[in-house]
Amino acid sequence: MAAESKFFNRELSWLEFNQRVLEEARNESIPLLERLKFLAITASNLDEFTMVRVGSLQLVQAEGDTRSDPCGLTPSDQLHLIGERMHAFASAQYECYLRDLEPALIEAGFHRVCPNELTDRQAHHVQTLFEQEIFPVLTPLAISLSKSEEGKPARKKASKKKQAAESAEAKVITEMPVFFPDSDVPSFPLLINQSLNLCVRLAPAAGSEVPRFAIVPFGRNRQRFITLPSDSGFSFILLEEVVTRFLAQLFPGEVIEECVPFRITRNADMELQEDQAFDLLSEMQEIVNARRQSACVRLEVADHGSATVREFLQTSVEVADEWVFPIPGPLDLSAFFRLTDSQGFDALRYEPWPPKPSSQIDPLESIFTAIAQKDILLYHPYESFDPVIRLIETAADDPDVLAIKQTLYRTSAKSPIVAALKRAAQKGKYVTAIVELKARFDEQRNIEWARDLERAEVQVIYGVKGLKTHAKVCLIVRREPQGIQRYVHFGTGNYNEITSKIYGDASLITCNEDLGADATAFFNTVTGYSQPQRFRQLEMAPIGMRDKLLEMIDAEIERKKHGQKAVIQAKLNALVDEQMIEALYKASQAGVKIRLNIRGICCLRPGVPGLSENISVTGVIDRFLEHSRIMYFYHGGDERLFISSADWMPRNLDRRVELLVPVEDAGARAKLMTILKTHFQDNVKARRLMPDGRYEPVKSSGVAVRSQEVLYNRAVQTVDEAAHAARTMFEPHRRPGTDE
């Protein structure tokens, strides 16, 4: 990054984040299968980055847009730097796998068997499996290559829209095992995004010198790792190697000259023209379908493939040279997630840290009673997500509950919360669900949930036109002896009981009158045509959150100018917004002490004299995904604490419906403050962002502090102390109906 730039490029910053994840895969102090998992995460992360960010920049470049980002890079500049970085990163990934992890896996009992290493018993097993389960399913697809195309170099992409249109015209390919020049077979099949395929080069037909090609697609659901019989450990062979071994059965009578695995990544940055969408549900389904036909962004091909095969594939899918990635090992390292779940290798995993029950909630009493006594702050996954599920399930069955209103952004495949909402509606309660259909890569699931909820007579709102509803809030309206009472859950993470076990997030459950009124106003604003109302305590993006945050920063600046103590602390997933960064720079220059804990993208340059010398930035990569958003302002001693669904990015502050939630209860505030302090104390898994964009380990000057371990041990200790207190209390049995 140029020294004169005040900002880091967001794409390169994200790639640095993924580099830190890769460092965990290289860390020999981490259990072996956890290291493999981190490596698989880097591959999965990079796939999504390529689909969305690279795909978006390629579209912008194709449209001729030359505008620069805040650090002065045009789309072409960014693509060039990203491409270089991605190639270097791919090399580092495979160096990690082939040099470090695979030898260690073999020593631990995992053996990836090559076809020439099969024992007679294993070879027989593989042959039987191929003939009975694999061969009947595979469909080799012939490719027509006209003489005019023979030897044609790979073309630069002129228009993404044109490519998408051409791809859409592709037909289902005939099941011919070979092709002949100038045949009527379509030119190239419409391959599934990020699925594994084999490119087969056959000997030219008699009397011809034109190469012949066929594609063997594996589809999306084929089992990649085939277990082999072995006397000890876990032996497996990759599906592509099995198919290659028996390829002659797919092409009888043909001379097979080459077989090369490859994989394509398509652009997933499809835009919905909401102003023209009459039926949003149908329009979103079309977006999902369009991704299957979008232009190719990246081509990964096994590096043993010849130049002939590589040029053929590159020309066929129309990718430029810089987006062709020769791969020196198994393609799609994200698939190795499956190996990390192998049974019988517990010693190669982290010690289990099961979520602990909250000591604030008595499982034998009504959860409404517990909430009425005081606000409940939960910190997942150290504390269980079960109270949130229990709250909604109890509300569904409680005859005194009149209504449930909830946002749903990402949910699990078998969500108990969705089941509870359906049950509540079927029992006659007024149930409203805001299902965000535009949640990227969860569109199909959310479309299905929306239809399912509608069939159960839930009032379903498909988000807000022009915005994504990313806020995490559930409102329960209950009739009680003293009148109507509102119970509210606010969260920093999704209503997903699966990810709640691996994502670090905060939950606030309250019956605070002001927050209940604000939650009601929020749903009225989002579900109706009413103008946004003024909240008592909440702030909402895109209409008030940015102004509130800037106001809080400005207040710290003013106090510092008057010689008072001024402190800002924030834990976020990403810091990208230019206006927010400029405000932090201004605060730093005024002398405000600013500490940021940011997991991923950070476009702010910390520690630059005269600009940001009072700002420090750290980030933690560990066994749980840091996902919570917590903000603290000293505010002249009247400390302000917030949790939020929003990162400090333009999309969150300007193009999404988000909530900023104050934490006012004394007990909840003390707990949240301790959590925030613990994150900043990490000197084991934390990395410090340097002024030049590099990350360095935080230097330890004393006792080692691994924040996630401290938080988990604290949750365990709290449960143990509560159990001990319960054992030392004696409660006599009383005659029912008396206080005697």
Q: Which residues are catalytic?
A: 470
- DSSP one-letter string for 196-233: EEEEEEEPPPTT----EEEEEE--SS--SEEEE--SSS
- Rounded-to-5 percentages of helix, strand, coil across the chain: 40, 20, 40
For CA atoms 649, 650, 653, 657, give the dihedral sign. negative
Say how far apart CA 429 and CA 393 lie, in whole Å: 13
Contact 691, 577 (CB under 8 A): no
3-class secondary structure, 44: helix
Residues 6 or more apart whose CB falls under 8 angstroms from that of 369 comprise none
Contacts of 724 (CB under 8 A, 6+ apart): none
Contact 234, 342 (CB under 8 A): yes
**57 in Cβ contact with 271 (< 8 Å):** no
SS3 26: helix
Rounded to whole angstroms, how far apart are CA atoms 542 and 656?
Answer: 6
Collapsing DSSP states into helix, strand and coil, what is residue 34? helix
Q: Are strands 196-202 and 212-217 parallel, antiparallel or unpaired?
A: antiparallel
> What is the rounded distance in angstroms from the CA atom of residue 131 to the CA atom of residue 339?
25
- The region, left, alpha or beta by phi > 0 then psi within -120 to 50, assigned to residue 72 is left
- The long-range contacts involving 282-289, CB below 8 angstroms and separated by at least 24 positions, are 284/437, 284/438, 284/443, 284/447, 285/444, 285/447, 287/443, 288/443, 288/444, 288/447
Place of tokens 């079927």: 426
Dmax (CA) of the chain: 106
Strands 539-541 and 656-662: antiparallel
Between CA 739 and CA 92 the distance in angstroms is 71
Alpha carbon distance 602, 14 (integer Å): 8
Residue owning tokens 């005859």: 399
3-state secondary structure string across 300-367: EEECCCCHHHHHHHHHHHCCCHHHEEEECCCCCHHHHHHHHHCCCCHHHCCCCCCCECCCCCCCCCCH
Six-digit token string for 228: 């082999």
Which residue type sits at 416? P
Residues 22, 89 contacting (CB under 8 angstroms): yes
Question: Read out DSSP for 563-607?
Answer: T---EEEEEES-B--HHHHHHHHHHHHHT-EEEEEESS-B-B-TT
How far is Cα 215 from Cα 196, in angstroms, rounded to an integer? 11
Gyration radius (Cα) of the chain, Å? 28
Label the pairing between strands 539-541 and 567-572: unpaired
